[in-house]
Structure 1
Amino acid sequence: MRKIFKYLVIMSLFVGLFYLYNKNQISSFKSQNIRIYSNKINNSIKITQISDFHSNYHINLQDLINEIEDFDPDFIALTGDMIDRKDDNLEITLNLFKALSKLNKEIYFIYGNHEVGHMLYDKYTKEINDIGINILDNDYVTIKVDDENINIIGFKYAYFEYENLAQYERIQGDINLEYYNLLLIHSPDNVETLLNGSEDLILSGHTHGGQIRLPLIGPIVAPGQGFFPKYDKGIFKIDNSTLYIDSGLGNSLAPLRAFNPVQISNITIEATK
């Protein structure tokens, strides 16, 4: 009986420690500072990317805003799944959007799969527009940062790749490909089927960084890719294009992370040295 009691105490301690560790992983966000080089620009471009927030109420919004304010990006990219499909409370995410809007930076948003399938999609879209955030729904905008011309192309999450392919071909015919081309796409799954070599940088999310990462093994599972995903998080080269995957500021389904804290990405694009 005493031995069983000891085992129960040890198990309780283990469960308690894991709970505290996991809570830290989903509440104490990291800021990833990323540098990317390009021979198409002369001046630096600074972008803050936020992805897969999933209405994470554990995040201290003021700390997040302070971090972004210190980085002072030229604009902010929101790469989808900012709400969670199973949650009908939009306020947590809308409060984040309102706080971001007070930074007086242009914000560009794309839909992820949790937005596309959400019961409050229309209401959510209206709220985003009312806040003043730019929705890129299979569309693009050309902006100027200092003397740099940038095409920002944004795609709604599509369950079939060809849904985006036809739209992308249309956009490619409209834009000046000599400009710096930034593609926002929620999921990196099968991203190669969409690319044609004109993309300088692709910003993506969806994977949650593999959610649970083990030392010497790496990412365990990612949405859409299954076990041991090829594209988990970080920088990948695809021919002449650079793919960057942010591992997200929240979780869906199981709220578990290990060796993979929630994050935002502060990205600086610089002229090739």
Structure 2
Amino acid sequence: MKLLKIILIIIAVGVFIFVYNYDQISKFRVKNIRIDSKKVRNNFKITQISDFHSNNLINLENMVDRVKKFDPNFIVLTGDIIDSNDMKLDTVIKLFEALLKLNKEIYFVQGNHENRSELYKDLKDEMEKLGIIILEDSSTTIIVNNEKINLTGLKFYPKSREYKEITYYQETIKDLNLDYYNILLRHSPNNVEDILNGNEDLVISGHTHGGQVRIPLIGAIVAPGQGLFPKLDKGIFRINDTNLYIDSGLGNSAAPIRAFNPVQISNIIIEPKK
């Protein structure tokens, strides 16, 4: 009888862990972020989707409905939209087709999984065909609600090329009017302070997955490139006069495991400083 109780408890715990983990890796949440700035006179809104990793558990119709209610001025995809192990692009194309129903400009920046994927050229061809704007060591200036905004995207630099990134970045922004509100899209937040020149108002990143597994009151256990108990794991950080925002992602890599850190997208409002 005692053995039966132990077995039932083990089964119950196993079922609980499975159900809880499934909720964490498949039922996305929406993180609402507000950032103020002296540079803007009018609000504008951004939806960020990061680290999708071809997560076919996500209800894309529900996600599009949530984004539609927020009504962003534009959408940014901050890398690792595919997984380097993908053999085909079916799941990510479904994501693109769902987002395109919103009739919003979509901007993409490369992550480490795109960087090492054999499908990256095919992915770029699909994005260009669908009208998704690829910012790969390039910039654009857009006007939103009478606000001029510089958007710069840097491709993912592996460690062997990190030392060159500042050169590519300076070349990318040399023709911009840096008096405008400046947004840098960079997949990884790691060592971002090494390339900043003080003109960036907002850096939008992903890559860390918020650690995937977090400990309440402590935060992430580990993040790629930062090791144990990383400093830059998830949320808003301040680097001098620049805001860095890290989204914990809509998918998973290495293992489909999350704890105290469900998959998410982010709705960001930039507003005038009061």
Give the TM interval when normalised to the shorter protein.
Answer: over 0.9
Whether 1:261 aligns to 2:262 is: yes
Compared CA separation, residues 89 and 7, structure 1 to 2 (3 A): farther
TM-superposed CA distance for 1:20, in Å, is: 0.4
Q: Which residue of 2 aligns with 1:183?
A: 184
| Between 163-172 and 12-21, the greater mean CA deviation after superposition | 163-172
Q: Distance in 1 between matches of 2:259 and 2:248?
A: 12
Instruction: State the AA in 1 paired with 2:126.
Output: E
Which segments of 5 or more consecutive residues in structure 1 lack a partner in the other structure?
A: none
| Between 226-235 and 211-220, the greater mean CA deviation after superposition | 211-220
Q: Distance in 2 between matches of 1:170 and 1:82?
A: 26
TM-superposed CA distance for 1:9, in Å, is: 2.5
TM-superposed CA distance for 1:7, in Å, is: 2.6
Q: Residue by residue, what CA displacement relative to the aligned partner does 1:215-250 show, whole Å, maximum 9, x if unpaired?
A: 232211112212101001100000000000000001
TM-superposed CA distance for 1:8, in Å, is: 2.8
Contact residue 80 and residue 186 of structure 1 kept, 8 A = yes
Q: Distance in 2 between matches of 1:209 and 1:88?
A: 26
Q: Distance in 2 between matches of 1:4 and 1:233?
A: 43
Instruction: State the AA in 1 paired with 2:224.
Output: P
Q: Which residue of 1 aligns with 2:213?
A: 212
Instruction: State the AA in 2 paired with 1:112.
Output: G
Identity of aligned residues (%): 56
Q: Which residue of 1 aligns with 2:50?
A: 51
Instruction: State the AA in 1 paired with 2:213.
Output: I
Q: Which residue of 2 aligns with 1:96?
A: 95
TM-superposed CA distance for 1:89, in Å, is: 2.7
Alignment of 1:167-182 (within 5 A): 167-182=168-183
Instruction: State the AA in 1 paired with 2:157.
Output: A
Q: Which residue of 1 aligns with 2:11?
A: 12
Q: Residue by residue, what CA displacement relative to the aligned partner does 1:145-189 show, whole Å, maximum 9, x if unpaired?
A: 021100000011101322321111112321110010000000001
SS at match of 1:250: coil
Q: Residue by residue, what CA displacement relative to the aligned partner does 1:76-105 show, whole Å, maximum 9, x if unpaired?
A: 000000111112131111110111112111
| Between 193-202 and 156-165, the greater mean CA deviation after superposition | 156-165
Q: Distance in 1 between matches of 2:72 and 2:30?
A: 13
TM-superposed CA distance for 1:39, in Å, is: 0.2
SS at match of 1:174: coil
Q: Distance in 1 between matches of 2:230 and 2:44?
A: 30
Aligned length: 272
TM-superposed CA distance for 1:141, in Å, is: 0.5
Contact residue 137 and residue 156 of structure 1 kept, 8 A = yes
Instruction: State the AA in 1 paired with 2:64.
Output: I
Q: Distance in 2 between matches of 1:81 and 1:48?
A: 16
Alignment of 1:179-258 (within 5 A): 179-258=180-259
Which segments of 5 or more consecutive residues in structure 2 lack a partner in the other structure?
A: none
Contact residue 138 and residue 164 of structure 1 kept, 8 A = no
TM-superposed CA distance for 1:14, in Å, is: 1.1
Q: Distance in 2 between matches of 1:172 and 1:137?
A: 12
Alignment of 1:138-149 (within 5 A): 138-149=137-148
TM norm structure 1 = 0.97
SS at match of 1:88: coil
| Between 202-211 and 7-16, the greater mean CA deviation after superposition | 7-16
Contact residue 65 and residue 99 of structure 1 kept, 8 A = yes
Q: Distance in 2 between matches of 1:15 and 1:89?
A: 33
Q: Distance in 2 between matches of 1:52 and 1:97?
A: 14
Q: Which residue of 1 aligns with 2:28?
A: 29
Runs of 4 or more above 3 Å deviation: 2-6
Q: Distance in 2 between matches of 1:87 and 1:122?
A: 13
Whether 1:135 aligns to 2:134 is: yes
Q: Distance in 2 between matches of 1:115 and 1:152?
A: 20
Q: Distance in 1 between matches of 2:153 and 2:219?
A: 29
RMSD: 1.0
Contact residue 106 and residue 133 of structure 2 kept, 8 A = yes
Instruction: State the AA in 1 paired with 2:21.
Output: N
Q: Distance in 2 between matches of 1:256 and 1:213?
A: 11
Q: Distance in 2 between matches of 1:216 and 1:245?
A: 18
Instruction: State the AA in 2 paired with 1:141.
Output: T
